[in-house]
Amino acid sequence: MHGTGRRGISLALRVLPSHHPPATELSGTLVVAWMTDVHARVPERGQLELRSVGVSGIRKPLSIQRPGRVNVLAATIDVAVDLPADRKGSDLSRNAEILAEIVDRTALKPLDSLESACSSIARELLARHPSASVSTVEAEGEYFLRRGVSAERQSFEDYLLLAEARAVRETDGAITLHRSIGAEAVGMTACPCAMETARERLVAEYPLLADPRLKDLPMITHNQRNRTRLLFEFSGEGEIEVDDIIGAIEAAQSSPTYAILKRGDEGQVVLDAHRHPKFVEDVIRDLLWSLPTRFPLLADTVRVHASTRSEESIHKYDVEATHETTLGELRRTARTLA
């Protein structure tokens, strides 16, 4: 080094096994021997294969090509791989590198969908983690559609776009991929039980309400904010339009909800909901029952995951229902009941 009288030293960092001799200076190169790959060590205790090790809650912008436009989704992503019993840790920095590369790539060439982004990440995880045999990716992103109670009163309503991918490395090295695409929509439900109880009490108080001509008159009841999710899982080829998924969910609720409602609009939404009172059980059954008609071209093998939760207004708890099935099972049930 100039002005010090010291000999110039270059620094070479090498990842060496833990038994390598201490650091030495050879021909002006300092070999640092303590950068041991701790992750590759054999665990000291409990040598068990772990099903999933990864990182969660990573927020990234993803550019997705939609018909006539490019959507930039603020996506939250979870990624993981399995870990063999003879390996102490997973190389988590590789996961962050993959996500950064995918994001940069979509800025130049938007992907077709959120699930295709998840599929690309899942495949790359297995490429970067040679000791892993299974990778999983889950993502959700804010998504906006133009909706409104009328053509004159529309705004961009927010939804959640959901996607998952699971890649499996087979014994021959081939990669098998399972993809899921879905959405969450927030609407409302009106309780049919409280409605009938209120009707009976009001008929006793106001006998004119017993007139048969008033049997379809919407009655007061308590309402809930309802959150319903629907995912379709593909083990092979197959595509589905997420806007159609959102439409199926909203049709199964008592009523959609909207950001912009004037006084008359509020009354219309309330009346619509009270004309279609539903338990969460009704929401999920109506949703599943509609799928064979709404999606006739999807294969029988496509799995369906549905869940719904009503945030109760008069109880101190929420009510939820879930179900998993295949489109083939739904079609067979429909034919049996026809």
Residue 35 binned pLDDT confidence (cut-offs 50, 70, 90): low
Residue 318 has pLDDT above 70, yes or no: yes
- The alpha helices in the chain, defined as continuous H runs, are 92-108, 114-128, 192-205, 242-252, 263-275, 280-294, 327-337
Residue labelled with tokens 């993803």: 62
Quote the pLDDT of residue 134: 96
Q: How far is CA 218 from the centre of its chain?
A: 36
Q: Max Cα separation, the chain?
A: 108
Residues 51-337: name the CATH superfamily: Urate Oxidase; (3.10.270.10)
Cα distances (angstroms) measured from residue 188 to each of 118, 120, 147: 31, 36, 16
Cα 21 from Cα 226, distance rounded (Å) = 64
Which of 259, 255, 250 has its CA nearest to residue 269? Answer: 255
Residue 33 binned pLDDT confidence (cut-offs 50, 70, 90): low
pLDDT, the chain, mean: 87
Residue 138 binned pLDDT confidence (cut-offs 50, 70, 90): very high
Quote the pLDDT of residue 34: 57
Domain boundaries, the chain: 10-37, 51-337
Give pTM, 2 decimals: 0.83
Residue 310 binned pLDDT confidence (cut-offs 50, 70, 90): very high
pLDDT tens per residue, range 161-210: 999 999 999 999 999 999 999 999 999 999 999 999 999 999 999 999 99
165, 115 Cβ separation under 8 angstroms: yes
112, 90 Cβ separation under 8 angstroms: no
| Mean pLDDT along residues 308-335 | 95
pLDDT tens per residue, range 72-86: 889 999 999 999 888
| Amino acid at the residue 258 | Y
| Mean pLDDT along residues 59-78 | 87
Quote the pLDDT of residue 149: 83
308, 321 Cβ separation under 8 angstroms: yes
| Tokens matching residue 53 | 């090790």
Residue 278 has pLDDT above 90, yes or no: yes
Residue 9 binned pLDDT confidence (cut-offs 50, 70, 90): very low
